[in-house]
Chain A
Amino acid sequence: MIDQNPPVTEEELHAYVDGELAPDRRAAVETWLASHPEDAARVAQWRAQADAIRARFGVLASEPVPARFDLDHLARGARSWRGAAAAAVVLAFLTGGVVGWMAHGASAAAPSRFDTFTAQALEAHKVYVVEVRHPVEVTGAERPHLVQWLSKRLDYELRIPDLEPSGLKLVGGRLLPGPFGPAAFCMYEGPSGERFTIYYARTDSPQTAMRYREADRFAALYWVERGLAYVVSGPPERERLLSIAQAAYDQIDKNTPQAK
């Protein structure tokens, strides 16, 4: 009697477990399983796998949804682009070399500024990260003085982020000639001697999201916030650079610096 039905295929077993089986084959599969313990065991295993997956991850769907997913906020493009843009930026360059994504949909961030600042910052980075004895003018031990001095010269209340949580110690900073006036330059050092720098320069470019550039053996992340261009440079590892830039951004943003 059973054999009048076509034999049950493995595909049908999966479909049976997933509720995808044609209704007229259901009885046939159940009869088959009753007489084929190995297949019955497989079906039981697949169900157990599905249960384990649901038990592990199912609960996440009933968690309250964090505010960062508020659609109005995301749609607006958001002033605090840690929201929409930050994630988009992460993906923008994870998806490979896309540098053009901008917050605000503003096409106004002139690429030339991006090029100029990034080139300058990378140049400074290259010159000073190899410097052993005199990498900076004012050391990190004199942070308050460093902040005060550079802020005065840029005429902008600078924030020099504390990147110790990212494993980076502030080596110190120096003043540099920038493309449109003085620029500030701070250096950080990791446990294995790798160096990252932050370059600050005044700009009239509108706010942008982070943009990424690699050149030679270095990489830079550029963004503009409240009249100041920032370039974080370091070894060409996007994720690491991004996480450092974000840590810096978060602190700078939290402290809401203002043009004087």
Chain B
Amino acid sequence: MGGFRQGIEAAVPALRRYARALTRNGELADDLVQDTLVRALRSEHLFHGGDIRSWLYTILTNLNRNRLRALARRPALQAIEDNDAPEVAGPEAGARDIERALASLVEDQRSALLLVVLEGLSYREVAQVQGVPIGTVMSRLARARMQIKAYLDGERPALRRIK
């Protein structure tokens, strides 16, 4: 019981980081984290050992997927996802580039890449979080990296220009 709570508590900073990178929106990210925590606390009885962190990532990833699915049903709101902040020069610009490059990814690819490079999960853990075979995780990673490169090289997909 205590260990369960402690495990969750210890994961909060990393969850916030992941949620933030995933959504690129601080408020949304913290709402996601909070709901993840609420859900985890309510589902303690469903947790049968294993890695708490992976379990939390799984909840958060699914919540975010549901959120996007709901948004997709209402195209009018799609603009919310388009975090087109005004252009900034200087050191901010680099950070914004990678943020936008991430934004150009398909959700599952973004999630796979972030779980690996930002959260340090193994391919096996990511496969569990995403509920897919390892091979799928690897192809998502490969496509994510290709897309980011293409984006940074200036091939901004026309898709993102839609407002």
Chain A residues packing against B (C-beta within 8 Å): 10-11, 14-15, 18, 20, 45-46, 49-50, 52-58, 60-63, 65-66, 68-69, 71, 74-75, 83-84, 87-88, 90-91, 94-96, 237-239
15 residue pairs of the A-B complex, CB under 8 angstroms, read A14-B142, A18-B116, A18-B141, A53-B21, A53-B98, A56-B99, A62-B13, A66-B30, A69-B37, A87-B34, A91-B31, A91-B32, A96-B66, A96-B69, A237-B77
Q: A10 and B70 in contact (CB under 8 A), knowing A57-B20, A66-B30, A84-B38?
A: no
In the complex, identify which listed stretch (B4-12, B47-55, B82-90) lies at the interface while the others stay far away: B4-12
8 Å CB contact of B80 from A14, A45, A55, A239? A239
Q: What residues on A are CB-neighbors of B13 within 8 Å?
A: 60-63, 65
Decide if B118 is an interface residue (CB 8 Å cutoff). Answer: yes
8 Å CB contact of B118 from A45, A57, A68, A71? A57
Q: A60 and B34 in contact (CB under 8 A), knowing A46-B145, A50-B117, A53-B102?
A: no
- Shortest Cβ distance from A91 into B: residue: B35
8 Å CB contact of B16 from A52, A60, A238? A60
Contact B67 A95 (CB under 8 A): yes
Decide if B149 is an interface residue (CB 8 Å cutoff). Answer: yes
Q: From DSSP, what is the main secondary structure of chain A's interface residues?
A: helix
Distance, CA A49 to CA B109, complexed state (A): 14
Q: What residues on B are CB-neighbors of A68 within 8 Å?
A: 30, 34
Scan B72-102; emit 1 where CB is below 8 A from any A CB, else 0: 0110110010000000000000110111011
Q: A91 and B63 in contact (CB under 8 A), knowing A50-B117, A58-B118, A60-B13?
A: yes
Distance, CA A46 to CA B38, complexed state (A): 35
How many A-B contacts are there with CB distance less than 8 Å? Answer: 121
Contact B16 A96 (CB under 8 A): no
Decide if B103 is an interface residue (CB 8 Å cutoff). Answer: no
Distance, CA A62 to CA B12, complexed state (A): 10
Q: What residues on A are CB-neighbors of B17 within 8 Å?
A: 57-58, 60-61
| Distance to closest chain B CB from A226 (angstroms) | 23
Q: What residues on A are CB-neighbors of B69 within 8 Å?
A: 96
Q: What residues on A are CB-neighbors of B5 within 8 Å?
A: 71
Q: What residues on B are CB-neighbors of A11 within 8 Å?
A: 138, 142
Decide if B129 is an interface residue (CB 8 Å cutoff). Answer: no
| Distance to closest chain A CB from B80 (angstroms) | 7
Contact A14 B149 (CB under 8 A): no
Q: A14-B141, A20-B122, A46-B145 are in contact. List 13 more A-B contacts (CB 8 A).
A: A52-B98, A53-B21, A66-B30, A71-B5, A87-B34, A88-B38, A90-B31, A90-B35, A91-B66, A94-B71, A96-B66, A96-B70, A237-B74
8 Å CB contact of A56 from B41, B67, B95? B95
Q: What residues on A are CB-neighbors of B80 within 8 Å?
A: 239
Q: What residues on A are CB-neighbors of B70 within 8 Å?
A: 94-96
User: Most chain-B Cβ atoms within 10 A of its Cβ — which of A58, A71, A88, A239?
Assistant: A71
Q: A71 and B31 in contact (CB under 8 A), knowing A55-B95, A95-B66?
A: no
Distance, CA A143 to CA B9, complexed state (A): 46
Q: A49 and B33 in contact (CB under 8 A), knowing A20-B122, A58-B118, A237-B76?
A: no
Contact A52 B66 (CB under 8 A): no
Q: What residues on B are CB-neighbors of A46 within 8 Å?
A: 145
